[in-house]
């Protein structure tokens, strides 16, 4: 069973709602073929079939419902999660979903976790590498980690598109080319030095884009953390191997091999970044795992066995008609 853990889904109605509430960066998600129109879904399913992808786990990141205004955050989170409940209900053999949380409002986020994870098809939650400029591991968010750990569920972490807060990235239009993997790296290291994967052993964290630069930095982190961040609870390389990483690298074999050598094949799960890897790029996102010179057992792990086990997904159900939005109410 081949599951793509890094796939996006947005409708214009949801993006319009975010814009109404003040977001100004929804343009990169519009017109990409990642919406709910019949033609868009048919084209997506045909692409999945051609690449041998059984199912995608949908996430709204980076356009998550994060607003300082509490009412806006809650309404947007309920809107997108109900949207996801509906599309998953209609296409259970094709889609599962990560729930969106109305952060930074932790009490509301806990309520939304309880609401959505009771709905069939939701297999975890999505967060961004930072939340309105705050670190993912800000102590304010500790109750979220505690609740996800209590449930033994999945946290999927995706860049926020904030250029890692760096003018040298943002002002040179490098937000997604290098800003995104830098955000991945920072967030993964924040999780490590805060001891999140060490303390919360039932929480299963998936980092995007092979963890950014993390595969190349493990030995450096191990050599320097004791004098620079001495409260880190265990060697960073040990904590890093308690997490998982999707394979989105735009088909770059050396990056995949480095991640496999650094984390182990059992820690890698298939991702495509649809719709940004579409057409031939989508096909390449899957094929490059097979063509990287890895042992066949490792290829099978990465493509077909790691994600179903991690997400607790068996063979998908048959398609059925009707909407499932009411289930998430």
Domains in the chain: ranges and CATH: 3-314 (3.20.20.140)
Phi, psi of 103 (to 5 degrees): -85, 155
Judged against a pLDDT cut of 80, whether residue 60 lies above it is answered with yes
**pLDDT value for 324:** 42
As a whole number, mean pLDDT of residues 34-63 equals 96
DSSP symbol at 319: P
As a whole number, mean pLDDT of residues 67-77 equals 98
**Three-state DSSP class for residue 105:** coil
The predicted-structure confidence for 275-324, as pLDDT tens digits, reads as follows 999 999 999 999 999 999 999 999 999 999 999 999 998 765 555 444 44
Judged against a pLDDT cut of 90, whether residue 13 lies above it is answered with yes
**pLDDT value for 326:** 40
Measured from the Cβ of residue 134, the count of other Cβ atoms closer than 10 Å reads 13
**pLDDT value for 314:** 72
**pLDDT value for 315:** 63
Residue identified by tokens 């998953």 is 88
The predicted-structure confidence for 134-188, as pLDDT tens digits, reads as follows 999 999 999 999 999 999 999 999 999 999 999 999 999 999 999 999 999 999 9
Per the CB < 8 A criterion, the answer to whether 65 and 83 are in contact is: no
CA–CA dist 263, 214 (Å, integer)? 10
As a whole number, mean pLDDT of residues 189-215 equals 98
Judged against a pLDDT cut of 60, whether residue 46 lies above it is answered with yes
The predicted-structure confidence for 242-258, as pLDDT tens digits, reads as follows 999 999 999 999 999 99
**pLDDT value for 313:** 86
DSSP symbol at 274: B
> pTM for the full model?
0.94
């Amino acid at each position: 069973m081949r599951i793509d853990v890094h796939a996006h889904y947005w409708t214009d109605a949801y993006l319009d709602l975010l814009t109404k509430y003040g977001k100004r960066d929804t343009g990169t998600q519009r017109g990409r073929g990642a919406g709910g129109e019949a033609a868009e879904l048919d084209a997506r399913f045909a692409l999945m079939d051609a690449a041998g992808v059984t199912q995608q786990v949908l996430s709204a990141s980076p356009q998550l419902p994060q607003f300082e205004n509490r009412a806006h955050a809650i309404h947007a989170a309920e809107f997108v999660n109900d949207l996801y409940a509906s599309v998953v209900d209609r296409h259970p053999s094709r889609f599962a979903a990560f729930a969106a949380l109305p952060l930074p409002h932790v009490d509301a986020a806990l309520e939304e976790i309880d609401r959505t994870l009771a709905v069939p098809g939701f297999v975890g939650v999505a967060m961004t590498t930072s939340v309105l400029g705050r670190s993912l591991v800000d102590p304010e968010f500790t109750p979220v980690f505690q609740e996800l750990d209590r449930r033994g569920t999945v946290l999927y972490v995706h860049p926020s598109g904030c250029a890692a807060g760096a003018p040298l990235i943002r002002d040179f239009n490098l937000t997604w080319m290098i800003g995104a993997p830098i955000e991945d790296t920072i967030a993964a290291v924040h999780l490590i030095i805060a001891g999140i994967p060490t303390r919360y052993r039932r929480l299963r964290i998936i980092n995007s884009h092979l963890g950014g630069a993390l595969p190349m930095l493990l030995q450096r982190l191990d050599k320097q953390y004791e004098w620079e961040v001495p409260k880190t609870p265990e060697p960073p390389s040990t904590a890093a191997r308690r997490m998982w990483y999707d394979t989105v690298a735009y088909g770059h074999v050396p990056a995949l091999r480095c991640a496999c050598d650094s984390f182990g094949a059992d820690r890698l799960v298939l991702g495509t970044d649809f719709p940004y890897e579409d057409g031939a790029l989508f096909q390449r996102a899957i094929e490059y795992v097979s063509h990287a010179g890895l042992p066949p057992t490792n290829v099978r792990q990465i493509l077909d066995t790691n994600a179903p086990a991690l997400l607790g997904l068996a063979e998908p159900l048959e398609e059925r008609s009707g909407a499932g939005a009411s289930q998430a109410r």
